[in-house]
Amino acid sequence: MSRRLEGQIAIVTGSSSGNGRAIAVALAREGATILCSDIRPTALAGGYETDREVPTHEAIVNAGGKAAYQQADASKAVDVEALVSRAVALYGRLDIMVNNAGVFTAVHTILEETEEQYDFTMNVNAKGVWLGCKYAIGQMMKQTPRADGTRGRIINIASIGGLVGLALEPAYCASKGAVVNLTRQLAVDFSPHRINVNAICPGFLATAMVRPFLEDKTFNETLHALTPYPRLGTPEDVAKSAVFLASDDAEWIAGSMLTLDGAFTAR
Ligand SMILES: NC(=O)c1ccc[n+]([C@@H]2O[C@H](COP(=O)([O-])OP(=O)(O)OC[C@H]3O[C@@H](n4cnc5c(N)ncnc54)[C@H](O)[C@@H]3O)[C@@H](O)[C@H]2O)c1
């Protein structure tokens, strides 16, 4: 069977852990060449990866795929611009941009949340996606379109926290709401140029970000009770959706939020 992303060039931000790592590995398995990018080369200590000490690009290369790594803080314009330039310098173009890097500080109401926590969350989650879109779309507009006329795919990792209010997550929900509506706005401006901008809105998944809650009995039971499907999500669930949105099968999907939450938001 032919691979769905053969010959395409992708950047994944926050690729060292959790969702970003699973997305990078899955895109590579479908034939894409991946420029992995993160603020640290190896997975976060709290993650569920069994090969945490192996950087994602090395795991991809060890499995027979093509990948490189560039350190980049997704919230810094100079880093993101350099990241896109590196993809072009290494591989000549950019077909797929996955804006995945994100942070979560703590559960609290707005009364306890500090200005520093708000600024940090908005900088990485909202501004980081804005920067990733800005520089990736700039490159996609400059380069020769693919043979089918399409110019590129942008996949933003938002959250159900961008669609509904999640208890005790004020800045996080504000940041993901920004990602959701930026995704729609960019789809309006760039669909005419055949650049697809979409977002994935996952529910609760087993990654380092959520581990403290999964290990807390009360939180764990609450998350399961709020999720009608009998299990919570995994980074691999997110990765499969990212492969789909990057593939030709999703050509007419633009400005969409792919909700991936075991029916959490269907209630
Ligand atoms: N885990 C969940 O339940 C869940 C649910 C919905 C959405 N998400 C979103 O998925 C994305 C990935 O989350 P995860 O659960 O894999 O998180 P994680 O904390 O397990 O991994 C995040 C990765 O991003 C990197 N990172 C952090 N700040 C960065 C920055 N400024 N620049 C570049 N890289 C940075 C980290 O080093 C880490 O490797 C985030 O946007 C998150 O909000 C997660």
Q: What ranges do the domains of the chain cover?
A: 9-258
Ligand 1 atom nearest the C-alpha of 233 is 3
From the CB of 74, is ligand 1 less than 6 Å away? yes
Residues 6 or more apart in contact with residue 145 via CB below 8 angstroms: 151, 194
Residue 88 tokens read as: 């072009």
SS3 of residue 125 by DSSP: helix
Order of strands, sheet of 195-202, starting from the edge strand that comes earlier in the sequence:
66-71, 33-38, 9-13, 96-99, 152-157, 195-202, 257-260
100 Cα–ligand 1 center, Å: 6
216 neighbors 224 (Cβ within 8 angstroms): no
Residue whose pair of structure tokens reads 């492969």 in the numeric block: 243
Please report, in tens digits, the pLDDT of each residue of the chain (267 residues total).
789 999 999 999 999 999 999 999 999 999 999 999 999 999 999 999 999 999 999 999 999 999 999 999 999 999 999 999 999 999 999 999 999 999 999 999 999 999 999 999 999 999 999 999 999 999 999 999 999 999 999 999 999 999 999 999 999 999 999 999 999 999 999 999 999 999 999 999 999 999 999 999 999 999 999 999 999 999 999 999 999 999 999 999 999 999 999 999 999
Distance of CA 188 to the CA centre of its chain: 20
pTM listed for this prediction: 0.99
From the CB of 101, is ligand 1 less than 6 Å away? yes
Query: φ, ψ for residue 156 (rounded to 5)?
Result: -100, 130
pLDDT, position 250: 98
Catalytic residues: 172
Cα 194 to Cα 197: distance, rounded to the nearest angstrom: 9
Ligand 1 atom nearest the C-alpha of 19 is 16
Cα 8 to Cα 1: distance, rounded to the nearest angstrom: 17
SS3 of residue 106 by DSSP: coil
From the CB of 38, is ligand 1 less than 6 Å away? yes
CATH number of 9-258: 3.40.50.720
pLDDT, position 2: 87
pLDDT, position 192: 98
58 Cα–ligand 1 center, Å: 20
24 neighbors 235 (Cβ within 8 angstroms): no
From the CB of 202, is ligand 1 less than 6 Å away? yes
SS3 of residue 34 by DSSP: strand
